Amino acid sequence: MNDIFYLSVKVALTATIINLPISIFIGWVLTKTKMPGKSILDLIILIPLAIPPVIVGFFLLIIFGKNGPLGSLIDNIFGTNIIFTWIAAVLASSIVSIPLMVRPIIVSMSDIDENLEKSARILGASHIKSFISITLPLSYKGITAGILLGFIRAFSEFGATIIVAGNIPGKTQTVPLAIYTNIITGNNDQVLKMVGICLILSITSILIYTKLSSSSKN
């Protein structure tokens, strides 16, 4: 069971690390710029929340499969295929979890007083320096909340993962997939242990998120 949890943490942590700079950039674009098409970008980010994860996995399988546009490109360059590997599990987890990471960051950045950023630029700070010195520090609660929600969603991912990464013990079998396998085989003791640990992680993350959300309103 330790190997299963190690793999799940590795997949979720990698997905979260990949999503973090992307989510911060998206949050900044949607709240602090006048870029055309922001509503379309916002819609695209929300799509993984609106469709079943198995559909996400299906599209990833088409795109990154050996004959898919990106899959064939990866095969030609690196001589390998990511389908049914832990990297595919990371990809699936990243896609389904990024909306939950982006939303708190957007809310946090939206609450920042624009006059602070304008004052910094009047004093000669560039947009990048203003972002690093003002926007980013003042968004830390939203960023922290997004990391928590994104990690837990990536850790608990099932539908897209089983389609694009499979359920291979020791290779791609994360905790949700192991729970599914043990339910089928009737190994209820293992199921209860894994479910208990998952509940503790989820409840702890929700409590921290709630605390951050309530403190940001004060």
82 vs 118 pLDDT, higher one: 82
* Reported confidence tier of residue 105, pLDDT bands at 50, 70, 90: very high
User: Which domain, by its residues, includes 77?
Assistant: 2-217
Residues whose CB is less than 8 angstroms from the CB of residue 29 and which lie 6 or more positions away in sequence, other chains included? 35, 38, 41
In angstroms, what CA-CA distances link 203 with 148, 154, 191?
A: 11, 15, 18
Q: Which CATH number belongs to the domain containing residue 164 in this structure?
A: 1.10.3720.10
Give tens-digit pLDDT for 118-162. 787 777 777 788 888 888 888 988 999 899 999 999 999 999 999
- Predicted TM-score (pTM) of the model is 0.89
Please state, as a whole number, how many other Cβ atoms lie within 10 Å of the Cβ of residue 164. Answer: 29
| pLDDT score at 171 | 93
Q: What is the mean pLDDT of residues 58-73?
A: 92
88 vs 115 pLDDT, higher one: 88
Structure tokens at 217: 């309103």
| Least confident residue range of 37-41, 78-82, 120-124 | 120-124
Structure tokens at 144: 């922290």
DSSP secondary structure letters along 60-105: HHHHHSTTSHHHHHHHHHHS---TTSHHHHHHHHHHHHHHHHHHHH
Structure tokens at 114: 């624009």
| pLDDT score at 25 | 93
Domains held by the chain: number: 1
Q: What angle do CA 165, 102, 136 make, to 5 degrees?
A: 125
- Helices 53-64, 69-78: axis angle to 10 degrees equals 50
Residue 70 pLDDT > 70, yes or no?
yes
